[in-house]
Amino acid sequence: MGRAQRHALGRRYAVLPPGVLTAGECMIDVTLIVQTSALAMEELVRHLGREPSRGSRKGGEVGAGRVRRATIWQLTLHAPTGVHMGLDGINDALSVLGLDFAARLGAIPDPGAEVVLQIVQSVEDDPLDEHTSNFYFSQDTVRWLATAGADVTITQYLYPDEDGTTSPRERASEARERQN
């Protein structure tokens, strides 16, 4: 498969038909996370040139008398309206941040700093359909992640149907049988 074909495949479901992903069927949360034990939040924000969506300060109380040992900076990423987060949304969100920002992430002055793109998907409908089960990373996204020195984690929560009698795989098989 050539580059143009792969690109067309990745873009095919970028703008979803109305009603494909309604509330409660599929949710994808994408967060860029930086964890450093050497920098305070203010130093990290100054280095990155950007405030986090949320974060935790090193030295802050965690609970039960424990103290946080690292600064955690988190930025929630958003896809443009009508764009599937798992297909083109992640690509678009990282592109908006820019390669310069990725370079600043990759140059955090703490050799032990961790940069992670965390993807959490919750699917309550058919997790095997083409609209909800795919993730697509363009070459530019892979370059962005490499420049940032970022790891990627993908966590998927697949929920059975309402009465709990059918597994997602069984529902997918049944749907394919109905189409034939």
pLDDT digits (tens, 9 = 90+) for 60-86: 887 888 888 999 999 999 887 777 777
Q: Which domain holds residue 50?
A: 20-179
Structure tokens at 173: 């098989």
- Domain count across the chain: 1
Confidence of residue 5 (pLDDT cuts 50, 70, 90): very low
Is 14 part of a structural domain of the chain?
Answer: no
More confident residue, 66 or 14: 66
Is 147 part of a structural domain of the chain?
Answer: yes
Q: Looking at the predicted structure, is the pLDDT value of residue 10 above 50?
A: no
Is 39 part of a structural domain of the chain?
Answer: yes
Is 165 part of a structural domain of the chain?
Answer: yes
Please give the pLDDT value at position 119. Answer: 87
Q: Looking at the predicted structure, is the pLDDT value of residue 33 above 90?
A: yes
Is 2 part of a structural domain of the chain?
Answer: no
pLDDT in tens, 51-60: 999 999 998 8
Q: Please list, in sequence order, all residues whose beta carbon lies within 8 angstroms of the beta carbon of residue 111, skipping any fewer than 6 positions away.
A: none
Is 52 part of a structural domain of the chain?
Answer: yes
Is 60 part of a structural domain of the chain?
Answer: yes
Give the C-alpha separation, 87 to 83, whole Å. Answer: 8
Is 3 part of a structural domain of the chain?
Answer: no
Confidence of residue 26 (pLDDT cuts 50, 70, 90): low
pTM: 0.72
